[in-house]
Amino acid sequence: MTKPYYPYSQYLKEKFGCKVYKVTLDAGFTCPNRDGVKGKGGCTFCDQTGSSSRAQDRRDSITEQIHKNIERQRKRFGAEKFIAYFQSFTNTYSPVERLKSLYDEAMAAHPDIIGMSISTRPDCVDEEILALIASYQTPDNYICVEYGMQTIHDRTLDLLNRCETHHEFLEAFELTQKYNLDHCIHVILDLPGESWEDQMETADVLAKLKVNGVKIHLLCAMEKTPLAEQYLRGEWQPLDKENYVQLICDFMERLHPETVIHRVAGNGHHQHVVAPLWLQRKMEIMNEIDAEFDRRGTRQGDKCRFMGENSARTEETAGVF
Ligand code: SF4
């Protein structure tokens, strides 16, 4: 059945013609928002593993992690090809020589690795790093950079202890376009203090930029995080499922129809989620999103305000709202 949005699984199938899965890696990075360079304690929602690949043992080499993970994904999903996914913490936060050595190892680790996806903070890339990442792009190698943007609103980023600004995201995005790198932008819905209109503004900026991909998260409390403590003290309540379904449909209606949706539900580490627990019922949520689009008679992009425009220059976009 055709989805009312453009799912990542469809994008991969169209691109590679076979079942492709990401294999998550923990390369032992840290984050400037944890080691004191930009902040301490991390973002309020980030757990001790850097929002990440808990399944991995960071004592294993990249090659060992890739081999173990490929075996698992083959058995579980019948996956045929694999993308090495540098997921934990900030995967560009090291000298370029070390980055090169880790990325080289990942690309050479297994014959069924067809590329890399590298997750990072927008303020942790520069010309040299993106040039290195772009150097792995060939007709046979797929390379993607994933940025944790979360929201376009700086006041929310402050509340999250993010220690970066939306302007820094726009600068990283412009450089990423310069190197013609595929990209996926992470956003979080139901962030503290954000109205429906605030969240729709974030969707509109992503539509205006015509970003390649978006991974949509709902704010959730993982164990041992400041957010979980707030929840246990009764200071924060997660959104309920019905309202989330409404909100994410509203959000996707405003995105560009060609933007790939990397995720709409679930969390890779469900055993460590404190709240909301319903978030783990991934299939049920996905079915309810489909049903809601069906009830509305709409799909992704139906309320996009920027149809027909090319990917905009970021300084123009910054002044739109
Ligand atoms: S930037 Fe990422 S890794 Fe660093 S504290 Fe925030 S969520 Fe965690």
Alpha carbon of 222 to ligand 1 centroid (Å) = 13
- Edge-to-edge, what's the strand order for the sheet holding 142-150? 20-25, 81-86, 113-120, 142-150, 182-189, 213-218, 260-263
DSSP per position, 51-83: S--TTS-TTS-HHHHHHHHHHHHHHHH---EEE
Asked if the structure places residue 299 within a domain, the reply is yes
Q: Which residues form ligand 1's pocket by a CB distance below 6 Å?
A: 31, 33-34, 42-43, 46, 50-51, 89-90, 121, 148
- Residue 317 belongs to a domain: no
Domain of residue 20: give its range. 8-305
Question: What is the tally of structural domains in the chain?
Answer: 1
Closest residue CA from atom 5 of ligand 1: 42
For residue 312, tell me if it sits in a domain: no
State in Å: Cα 308 to ligand 1 middle.
35
Each of the 321 residues of the chain gets a pLDDT tens digit; together they read 699 999 999 999 999 999 999 999 999 999 999 999 999 989 999 986 655 545 556 689 999 999 999 999 999 989 999 999 999 999 999 999 999 999 999 999 999 999 999 999 999 999 999 999 999 999 999 999 999 999 999 999 999 999 999 999 999 999 999 999 999 999 999 999 999 999 999 999 999 999 999 999 999 999 999 999 999 999 999 999 999 999 999 999 999 999 999 999 877 677 889 999 999 899 999 999 999 999 999 999 999 999 976 544 444 444 333
30 C-alpha vs ligand 1 centroid, how far in Å?
9
In a domain, 311, yes or no: no
- What's the pLDDT at 309? 60
Classify strands 213-218 and 221-222 as parallel, antiparallel or unpaired: unpaired
pLDDT attached to residue 318: 40
Report which of 135, 148, 125, 144 is spatially closest to residue 22, judged by C-alpha positions. Answer: 144
| Token digits of residue 104 | 């080289």
C-alpha–C-alpha distance, residues 183 and 211, integer Å: 7
**Residue 249 falls inside a structural domain:** yes
pLDDT, position 314:
43
Give the position, in ligand 1's atom list, of the atom nearest the Cα of 42: 5
Domain CATH for 296: 3.20.20.70
Q: Measuring from atom 2 of ligand 1, which residue has the nearest CA?
A: 89
Q: Is residue 267 part of a domain?
A: yes
- 89 CA closest ligand 1 atom index: 3
Q: Is residue 315 part of a domain?
A: no
